[in-house]
Chains A and B, each alone.
Chain A
């Protein structure tokens, strides 16, 4: 069994997002924002609801919640992301803070959401417990993660290409499994362990519409952290082969003059009793 040093992984992700912040929106924004309505419906976000968007990134969900009239606070541990979020949503309140140590009092929010944040955390169970703590009784929590790489094919083709042409044996701080919460049973178990009830787990059919066959590789190498670091650790020739393989993978999804890649997500929601 691999030993995980949560602090090392936490710092690796935090530093990585400082670098990826300016690229994330262009890289993944067009697909990650597609969850907004389902995520906000799952926490019954309506006008006047006090809503916390954890790991807000460029503030996509915070913005959608504010458009519904919710009283939104967006939180991210990356100063560069907060800057990005504030640039896009100057009227929304943002705070620099950590999902694993929320800077709020108990029962401060009616709803807490996290869009594709959990898979970047060193201590996801702590983050769920923290979300539970800051929710009022009767409040609702929801998060999204990517479906497994066999279904979220943009990830699948990249991971297969790295395995085939490169190496996954790179010196990186070990983190929790990226697709841990893609498994509904694990998600349900973990939410219930954090004290949540009324757990619902379902899949959202997101699609990544791209103009360039290199867009998946570019997104993964610039707009993220963990896969980007694995890619940076490859030899130049391995990297060229990986890039070509991912391009061929994307080209298999040609449609309407561009490319349409299935990128389903798992939406989990629950209530605090």
Chain B
């Protein structure tokens, strides 16, 4: 039976008007109310914008869920100038494609969000770090930036005031780790994208040693709305601990995969069954990865979990990027786990020992199992290697890789054992 949830009545904020064929054009964006928040924001003192963002309770949508207002506050208190604002559009987490509709269909919302944020931070230079795999988004964004310059929303003296902001796209080149903010900064500086030692944090020592705020696309796209309706009002949407609208990208075995804008805290079950149309072909749910491939897999009995930063950890996983990957009975968990590990091995930056060596070793073992060459004791070995990595890697990539294996072999151990013992797959034979 279909559960009716108040969220269906919610007006779209982030994906507003994206169905319009002209949604990327500045006139169309302005026609539906775009670039109005900017006028309001430029009249507000920077500190007041930060205060609004703080009171909104907005938490970063890039995966870690750090309170955005707090991050801005740190950066703005640092006396060094210039300051940099970077939009993290590296969206590389497998299963994640939630930023893509904004980048490809609603670029001006992001630009408006960035200009307001820059004003709040007194930053005069911004970059959109766009993954290399989104060439179309690059075209769209560059066109939109051009339009925004022409319309006076970017450049010197925005809207005739004394605030100026320059924005450009920095194209990544195929490195998932560059989504991690310090690796991203290295990459913008023209270096190998390896994460930096923290502290110091980017808010104090970021790009070119200057205070730098890195925010996800979706985070920044929330800003105009917060300015428009005020932080207080915004904080009433969804879960009060981490409020606001949230984009969920739903994929794999569902009837209607796609990006859904829903309030934070919408139950996983509702996302899968009501919005994404349930399991494809009426199959039975076997497992869900709730927040992108790096987040631990959940078993079906956990799907009443509300999808937000505070609830998922209680269910043994994380919200991550909000990328819901749904697997039915026909999907082999060993194979998914192997493929995930191949990804981590490929994307490990090589800086730290456990991730560089461990991901390859894990992939090797999983590959053996998957192709019917598993050995007795492999499961323990997997667990041992993954535990040796967990908590000891330099950055969360390696930790995530370990967590994936640990979750899979915990909840689906029969499937792994079946592979080892029968030298073939339990589901595909």
Is the A/B pair a real complex?
no
Residues of B within 8 A of A (CB): none
